[in-house]
Amino acid sequence: MNEGKRTVRPARTMVGAQVSDRVIITPVLIALNVLAYLVTVFQAGSPMNNDRASLFTATSMIPELTAQGEWWRVVTSGFMHFGLIHLALNMAVLYVVGQHVERELGKVRFSAVYFLSLLGGSASAFYFGTVCQQLAGASGAVFGLMGALLILWKRQRRDISTIVVVVGINLVSNLFTNASLLGHLGGFVIGGLLTLAMVRAPQQNRNLYQIGAVVAAVVLLGVMFALRAAQLDTDAEVILEIARTCRPN
């Protein structure tokens, strides 16, 4: 009499991802950001004034140009950085936080949280911000990952005081720098809420619930972009005149 072999199910994290110590997406994202920075440095001939590069100008977030149809900027701006210090700070946080979040969420969910947080930062700055701004940096996505880690550690009943302090310091520092507070907050909120939805999804049909949360986030951000673009289009002449006086050289 042959006994059937028992099927061993792979261990899963709290969101349903397969447990793995391999971290792939985080180093790939860091490499892409560093590569983009090096290209702008080469074009501008300066590691600190790389925002003068043609690639930076063509891909950073400039509201009036975005509203006129250059929508790639809402994503590509997340891979541009104002100088070496800006890049180093964001990549350091991405390296530390990204590894923890990627292991818990898995590659697909982690990628969704990262890029929707990036879009959340862009949407927040675009919708609530002024036209006199040029936005760049992975800060929205990085803050989204910090929001995700806050939810994950809270769910695991771990001490979240360190994350709260780091987020608080970074937000307060926005008041004394040219960093976009709106962009940081937008990424943090989207990353935190999306991760919360993934964590709280019931085990039965969990993937369906999580996909629904992602779709809802995409719709929300799409509506924000569309409404603001319509407003800027309505006031196109005034907006363009203002933009000529405040756009960086």
Q: Which residues pair with 61 in a beta bridge?
A: 135
Amino acid at 146: M
Q: Which residues pair with 135 in a beta bridge?
A: 61
Q: How many CB atoms lie within 10 A of CB 128?
A: 14
How far apart CA 148 and CA 198 sit, in angstroms, is 10
Q: Which residues pair with 84 in a beta bridge?
A: none
Q: Is 20 a catalytic residue?
A: no
Q: How many CB atoms lie within 10 A of CB 246?
A: 11
Token pair in block for residue 132: 């006199």
CA angle 208, 209, 212 (to 5 degrees): 85
Q: Is 139 a catalytic residue?
A: yes
Q: Which of 60, 117, 122, 139 is catalytic?
A: 139
DSSP 8-class letter at 82: S
**What DSSP string runs through 41-58?**
HHHHT-SS-GGGSHHHHH
178: exposed, middle or buried (Cβ count in 10 Å: 0-12, 13-18, 19+): exposed
- Which of these, 91, 114, 92, lies nearest to 102 by C-alpha position? 114
Catalytic residues: 139, 184
